[in-house]
Amino acid sequence: AAPFGLHAELQKMSAQEIMDAKALAASKSHSEAERRRRERINNHLAKLRSLLPSTTKTDKASLLAEVIQHVKELKRQTSQIAETSPVPTESDELSVESAKPNGQKPVIRASICCEDRPDLIPDLIAALKSLKLRTLKAEIATLGGRVRNVLFVTGSDDDSGAGGGECCVGSIREALRVVMEKCCVGDESGSAKRQR
Digit-coded pLDDT (tens) for 152-182: 998 876 554 444 445 578 888 999 999 988 8
Query: Total structural domains in the chain?
Result: 2
127 plus 175 within the same structural domain: yes
Instruction: Please check whether residues 46 and 121 belong to one and the same domain.
Output: no
Express each pLDDT in 48-78 by its tens digit.
888 888 877 778 898 888 889 989 998 888 7
Residues 71 and 118 in one domain: no
Q: Tell me which range, 53-62, 76-85, 103-112, 124-133, is most confidently predicted by mean pLDDT.
A: 124-133
Whether residues 113 and 73 share a domain: the answer is: no
Same domain for 98 and 79? no
Residues in the chain: 196
Q: Where does residue 148 rank: exposed (0-12), middle (13-18), buried (19+ CB within 10 A)?
A: buried
**What integer pLDDT is reported at residue 36 of this predicted model?**
92
Residues 6+ apart with CB under 8 A from 96: 108, 109, 110, 111, 169, 172, 173, 176
> pLDDT class for 185, splitting at 50, 70, 90?
low
Residue 66 · residue 48 · CB < 8 Å: no
Query: 43 and 122 share a domain?
Result: no
CATH number of the domain within which 73 lies: 4.10.280
Same domain? For 47 and 99 the reply is no
| DSSP-derived secondary structure for 125-147 | HHHHHHTTEEEEEEEEEEETTEE
Domain containing 78: what range? Answer: 30-83
Q: What is the mean pLDDT of the chain?
A: 79
DSSP string, 55-73: ----SHHHHHHHHHHHHHH
- Asked whether residue 146 is assigned to any structural domain, the reply reads yes
Q: Is residue 65, in this structure, part of any structural domain at all?
A: yes
